[in-house]
């Protein structure tokens, strides 16, 4: 599985591609796209173009994006929403499945608890992916989002497996019960 | 001048194309795009595709969009931001100039005062464009946005013209003064 994590911002956008095979995760590529301080439409179309290029190069199975509905002021909520909207439309346009995780879910999956600070996240991501170079903040966030999706998939599979096993056991008991009558 | 007005929403999007020649405005085409209630990414890519098609068909000079930074709750601010972001990126992608107007500016330009209600706006837009059929609410908002840009351009030109004339008069007085010496 190949996952593209995106940390969208209004001035820069972090991105990171992780491949997963079994329980092993490898960083394929990552970086930070500087959007500059020009007019908003120009910055947003840069996000669109970069995403189309990243999806074309890496052909990810999933795009993992932060679900962020908390903001101190409405203006910044609008601004973050604008960048998120472009990322969501771009993923659908590129035919890539979208997954969304809250900041707390990402922190918990990667650093072990939901209140890890930025520095702790950089350390956790670097350790998890055995990175030699330390990623920049937005790049680390994007890699963490990609890693979160992979870890949660594994977790969800395990939970589903356990539930299936439990159901199977109940069914077996049920049949045994019928046979006993 | 051809202006495409867009009223972006999360469930439907109003659009309207107006051509202006001198002081005469004509509605070229308008409508409401239903985005359905499916997943957000799918709705946003529908907005993107519709805008690319509208820009290709009509080749507008300007896309006029509502500048909306007021919302009761942050979640709806994020949602409106998402739709706005896609419209902005789409306009830049299509090479169409973007103009933004506050709701009060649109109401003032079209209905004469900044507090016109939705019904008053529909009536004002219909009268201004001599529409036979009454447009739906979002369609009327989109036409009002397009009309607002045209009216403001005319106003800005008049103001610029008056300023130029005043400057010309000052220059003429200045020259006359020099000649007198």
Euclidean distance between CA atoms A101 and B115, whole angstroms: 40
| d(C-alpha A171, C-alpha A44), whole Å | 53
B39 included as an active-site residue: no
Chain B 49-78, residues with CB within 8 Å of chain A CB atoms: 49, 68-71, 74-75, 77-78
- The mean pLDDT value for A73-97 works out to 92
Say which of B44, B69, B91 has its CB closest to residue A78: B69
Place of tokens 């990623």: A135
Note the pLDDT tens digit of each residue in A36-48: 888 999 999 999 9
Query: Of residues B36 and A128, which shows the higher confidence score?
Result: A128
Q: Which two structure tokens, joined as six digits, stand for A60?
A: 């990810």
Check: complex ipTM more than 0.85: no
Q: DSSP code of A95?
A: T
Report d(CA A7, CA A18) in Å as an integer.
14
Examine the pLDDT at B33 and tell me if it is beyond 90: yes
Decide if A132 touches B, using CB distance below 8 A: no
Q: Each residue of B157-177: pLDDT tens digit?
A: 666 667 677 777 666 665 544
Write down the mean pLDDT value for chain B.
88
Q: Provide mean pLDDT across the span B34-61.
A: 95
* pLDDT tens-digit readout, B69-80: 677 777 788 888
Residues 3-22 of B with CB under 8 A from A: none
Q: Is the pLDDT of residue B49 over 60?
A: yes
Q: Does B38 touch chain A (CB under 8 A)?
A: no
Nearest to B120 by CA among B132, B108, B130, B131: B108
- The secondary structure of residue B30, as a DSSP letter, is E
pLDDT band at B107, cuts 50/70/90? very high
**Percent of chain B's residues with pLDDT above 90:** 69
Mean pLDDT lowest among B29-43, B117-131, B148-162: B148-162
Q: What is the pLDDT at residue A148? A: 97
- CATH classification code of A2-180: 3.30.420.10
Within 10 A of B101 (CB to CB), how many other CB atoms are there? 21
pTM: 0.85
Q: CB-based contact (8 Å) between B94 and chain A?
A: no
- Please say whether the beta carbons of B64 and B30 come within 8 A: no
Question: Inter-chain contact B41–A83, Cβ cutoff 8 Å?
Answer: no
Q: At residue A181, does pLDDT exceed 50?
A: no
pLDDT tens per residue across span A109-145: 999 998 899 999 999 999 999 999 999 999 999 999 9
Sheet with A62-66, strands from edge to edge, namely A24-34, A12-21, A2-7, A62-66, A97-101
> Distance from A124 to chain B by nearest Cα, in Å?
29
- What is the predicted pLDDT for the residue at A79? 87
SS3 content of chain B, % helix, strand, coil (to 5): 55, 20, 25
Chain A residues closer than 8 Å to B78 by CB: 68-69, 71, 77-78, 80-81, 84
């Amino acid at each position: 599985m190949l996952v593209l994590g995106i940390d969208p911002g209004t001035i820069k956008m972090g991105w990171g591609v992780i491949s997963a095979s079994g329980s092993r995760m490898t960083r394929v590529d990552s970086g930070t796209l500087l959007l500059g301080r020009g007019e908003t439409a120009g910055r947003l179309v840069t996000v669109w173009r970069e995403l189309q290029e990243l999806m074309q190069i890496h052909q990810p199975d999933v795009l993992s994006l932060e679900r962020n509905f908390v903001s101190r002021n409405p203006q910044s909520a609008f601004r973050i929403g604008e960048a998120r909207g472009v990322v969501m439309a771009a993923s659908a346009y590129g035919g890539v499945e979208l997954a969304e995780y809250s900041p707390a879910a990402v922190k918990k999956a990667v650093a072990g608890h939901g209140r890890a600070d930025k520095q702790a996240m950089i350390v956790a991501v670097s350790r998890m992916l055995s990175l030699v170079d330390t990623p920049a903040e937005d790049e680390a966030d994007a890699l963490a989002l990609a890693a979160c999706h992979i870890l949660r998939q594994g977790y969800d599979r395990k939970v589903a497996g356990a539930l299936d096993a439990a159901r199977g056991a109940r069914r077996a008991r049920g049949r045994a019960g019928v046979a006993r009558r």
